[in-house]
Amino acid sequence: MDFKYVPSTCPYCGNGCGVNLVVKDGKFVGISPWHRNPVNEGKVCIRGNKSYEFVNNPDRLVSPLIKKGDKFEEASWEDAYKEIANAFKAVKGDAIGVVASARNSNEDSFVLKNFAANVLKTANIDYCGRRCNADAVKGLADAFGNGATTNSLADLGEAKAILIIGSNPLEENPLAGRRIILAKLNGAKIIVADARTTATARLADLHITCNPGTGVALVNGIITAIVKAGKEDKDYIAKHTKDFEKAKAAAASCTPDAVAKAAGISADVVTKAAEIFAAAQPAAVVTSAGAGSGDLIRALANLQMVTGNVGKAGSGVNLLRGKSNAQGAADVGAVPGEGGLTVPAMIDAAAAGKIKALYVVGENIASAGAHVSDALSKLDFLVVQDLFMTETAAKANVVLPSASFAERDGTVTNAERRVQRIRKAIEPVGSAKPDWQIISEIAKAMGHEKDFAFKDAEAIFAEIAKIVPAYAGITYAKLEKPEAIQWPAAGGVFGTAILYTDKFATKDGKAAFAAVEYKAGEAAGGEFPLAVAAQWPMGTLSTKTESIMREWPEPKVHINVEDAKGLGILNGAAVKVTCKAGSVEMVADVTKDIKKGVVSMPVSMGVAAVKIEKSAGGN
């Protein structure tokens, strides 16, 4: 019997937990703790622990497929490449779009970016996860100089107070949630702003049940209360920041009473939150890229500058990520070039007939709704590269089988900027290949062999380290230890655990306050009386994991018991959820753990207000 452990990185959320892949007789059979990895110290949530299940799922794509009429037929790689090359050559660059993935490795995204720019001659490249990351990343970059989390996850354990807003770490990023539990055990005060009584909210010393979309008002209210009490860090503000007065003036209208009215909370709660946060040193902010608008991120950055909570352990703005390589995909350039289109803009352009061909690598964009599916149907040519026959792949002209994270080498960069290895543990299923290899071979089929003659993933990473300044000095050899390296790499020796300990990455070395004003969004009322709080949806990997589907077999809409009673809806009943964009049927979870007037459903719905009614034939 052949038995081995192969150290790697979990393919799910942006925590980047270290895992040991257990391989028996050439098959990936389980996960074993990797205690030395500093991110999770051997602990793993259900997703990482059961990751071998989707890798071994019998629905995996095993060979290239070419659509003939309405049906797919198995094809050789040579024939698939020929089909793709001919189709891409027939389309002008600005009529082609490329969609990368925040789950692909740095090497995949780097090669795809170069393929788009140098072979397809298009600036239309974007990664799907960026649509919920872009504003948050820009907010951090504008404030501090880098569009990345300021601190390490382990730092949370040193905080004396933690404000959590727009995030539910204990359920969405569980090993980040563990650090918050450790902080509480060390005496930290936890403040959670959420209309739901989540697992994270149950941990809170102060749970603020603010209405969805009022986070900016709340944070501005906390800032205003701190300044009014004279508790701002005047010395830090003077030495390390600029434009404080502008931010102060913009936040001034958010008095405790004004925030209470907007957010549906008590004014005393705002004052209490300000007192807790101002009294704690250090204090940290935790939010999520998907839930954090640019204004919210800038407001949170303002709060941390007001209190001097940047550049030290237990402080900073900690931006949690939903996908394993959301940070790395941006780092290596899988973003629109000059004049290039974002993913939503590509979809609109496809619907309008301006984008004629699309190359989608590792994303199921059709799951976002009927408008995306309709737009894809208008394309002349669609190539999809993935592990499974997703809704997007079903619409493709050519489908190519990707190797999973356990079947390839590469790197991913987690939310705390830690560049870590993924290592090949088993052979790919069927004739599946790593994404970078497939992309390179398509390039060769289109006459660009010289620029894509990569020997392996390590050779690609060497190119990344030459071109991406933050990665300079990092090599595969220096990533062998479980601690890996956090960028910027300080010559590739130790990395940087905490940003801005000396100065900010701005031109003048100072952080920039922003004049963030609270702007009320779409309010619930009239035809759509229920506000929506975002719920993390399950994606392709989770739905192909048997253990996860047993626990969460279907998406649910969580509704307050009083709202449900008024609508005549029973727990477990089928209901119709309607917004301006359309309707969907779901199962009702009637609960006391959500604020009256608010419902929670998967974030992919992307709506602010809905109405709910009993489904035809439902209870």
How far apart CA 317 and CA 202 sit, in angstroms, is 22
Q: What is the mean pLDDT of residues 398-416?
A: 97
Residues 151 and 288 in one domain: yes
CA angle 22, 457, 35 (to 5 degrees): 35
Domain boundary among 288, 320, 352: 320
Residue-wise pLDDT for 25-76, tens only, equals 999 999 998 999 999 999 999 999 999 999 999 999 999 999 999 999 999 9
Confidence of residue 603 (pLDDT cuts 50, 70, 90): low
Return the CATH number at 82: 3.40.50.740
What's the pLDDT score for residue 542?
86
Checking DSSP bridges between strand 609-614 and strand 381-386, what pairing results, if any?
Answer: unpaired
Residues 200 and 297 in one domain: yes
How far apart CA 426 and CA 405 sit, in angstroms, is 10
252: which residues sit within 8 A by CB, 6+ positions away?
Answer: 224
- Total tally of structural domains belonging to the chain: 4
What's the pLDDT score for residue 543?
86
> Of 361, 302, 326, which is closest to residue 137 (Cα–Cα)?
326
Q: What is the mean pLDDT of residues 268-291?
A: 91
Q: Has residue 65 been placed in a domain?
A: no
How far apart CA 344 and CA 365 sit, in angstroms, is 10
Residue-wise pLDDT for 159-211, tens only, equals 999 999 989 999 989 999 999 999 999 999 999 999 999 999 999 999 999 99
Q: What is the mean pLDDT of residues 608-617?
A: 79
Confidence of residue 368 (pLDDT cuts 50, 70, 90): confident
For every residue of 204-218, which 3-state class applies, written as one string? CCEEECCCCCCHHHH
Task: Say if CB 64 and CB 445 are below 8 A apart.
Answer: no
Residue type at 200 in one-letter notation: T
Domain boundary among 444, 477, 492: 492
Question: Residue 285: beta bridge partners?
Answer: 163, 317
Return the CATH number at 30: 2.20.25.90
Question: Residue 3: beta bridge partners?
Answer: 24
Residues 382 and 475 in one domain: yes
Domain boundary among 443, 473, 492: 492
Q: How many CA atoms lie less than 13 Å away from 509 in the CB half-sphere?
A: 6
Question: Residue 288: beta bridge partners?
Answer: 320
Q: Has residue 498 been placed in a domain?
A: no
Confidence of residue 131 (pLDDT cuts 50, 70, 90): low
Residues 175 and 114 in one domain: no
Structure token digits, residue 508: 């003048």
Q: What is the mean pLDDT of residues 418-430?
A: 97
**Does 360 score more than 60 pLDDT?**
yes
Q: Has residue 197 been placed in a domain?
A: yes
Q: What is the mean pLDDT of residues 597-611?
A: 77
Residues 400 and 452 in one domain: yes
413: which residues sit within 8 A by CB, 6+ positions away?
Answer: 16, 106, 325, 327, 328, 331, 419, 420, 487
SS3 87: helix
How far apart CA 444 and CA 430 sit, in angstroms, is 22
What's the pLDDT score for residue 242?
96
Q: Has residue 76 been placed in a domain?
A: yes
CB atoms within 10 A of CB 447: 10
Structure token digits, residue 479: 């990533």
SS3 401: strand
Helix axis angle, 294-306 relative to 215-228, nearest 10°?
20
**Does 461 score more than 70 pLDDT?**
yes
Share of the chain above pLDDT 90, in %: 77
Residue-wise pLDDT for 79-107, tens only, equals 999 999 999 999 988 999 999 999 999 99
**Does 133 score more than 70 pLDDT?**
no
CB atoms within 10 A of CB 141: 15
Residue type at 67 in one-letter notation: K
Question: Residue 163: beta bridge partners?
Answer: 191, 285
Place of tokens 């753990």: 593
Structure token digits, residue 114: 């170069």
Element (H, E) at 574: strand 574-579
> What is the overall mean pLDDT for the chain?
92
Q: What is the largest CA-CA distance in the chain?
A: 72
Task: Say if CB 77 and CB 46 are below 8 A apart.
Answer: no
> Of 66, 112, 511, which is closest to residue 311 (Cα–Cα)?
511
Residues 176 and 199 in one domain: yes
Residue type at 85 in one-letter notation: A
Rounded to a whole number of angstroms, the distance between the first and last alpha carbons of the chain is 55
Task: Say if CB 100 and CB 127 are below 8 A apart.
Answer: yes
Residue 221 phi/psi, 5° resolution? -65, -40
Checking DSSP bridges between strand 574-579 and strand 609-614, what pairing results, if any?
Answer: antiparallel
What's the pLDDT score for residue 607?
72
Q: Has residue 242 been placed in a domain?
A: yes
**Does 618 score more than 60 pLDDT?**
no
Lowest average pLDDT, out of 49-63, 265-279, 597-611, goes to 597-611
Residues 395 and 484 in one domain: yes
Residues 154 and 287 in one domain: yes
**Does 524 score more than 80 pLDDT?**
no
Residues 119 and 138 in one domain: no
Residues 473 and 395 in one domain: yes
Task: Say if CB 300 and CB 165 are below 8 A apart.
Answer: yes
Residue-wise pLDDT for 306-348, tens only, equals 999 999 999 999 999 888 999 999 999 999 999 999 998 999 9
**Does 293 score more than 80 pLDDT?**
no
Confidence of residue 16 (pLDDT cuts 50, 70, 90): very high
Residues 140 and 126 in one domain: no
Task: Say if CB 40 and CB 12 are below 8 A apart.
Answer: no
Return the CATH number at 604: 2.40.40.20
Residue 27 phi/psi, 5° resolution? -120, 135
Q: Has residue 60 been placed in a domain?
A: no
Q: Has residue 508 been placed in a domain?
A: no
Element (H, E) at 219: helix 215-228
> Of 54, 79, 52, 49, which is closest to residue 64 (Cα–Cα)?
79
How far apart CA 552 and CA 548 sit, in angstroms, is 6
Q: What is the mean pLDDT of residues 444-449?
A: 93
Owning domain of residue 349: 70-130+329-492
How far lies 273's CA from each of 282, 288, 309, 352, in Å?
15, 20, 16, 48
497: which residues sit within 8 A by CB, 6+ positions away?
Answer: 151, 152, 155, 486
DSSP structural state of residue 391? T
DSSP structural state of residue 244? H
Residues 40 and 173 in one domain: no
How far apart CA 219 and CA 188 sit, in angstroms, is 19
SS3 77: helix
How far apart CA 108 and CA 440 sit, in angstroms, is 10
Return the CATH number at 232: 3.40.228.10
> Of 463, 448, 453, which is closest to residue 119 (Cα–Cα)?
448
Q: Has residue 506 been placed in a domain?
A: no
74: which residues sit within 8 A by CB, 6+ positions away?
Answer: 63, 64, 65
Q: Is the peptide bond before 7 cis (omega within 30 degrees of 0)?
A: no
Confidence of residue 609 (pLDDT cuts 50, 70, 90): confident
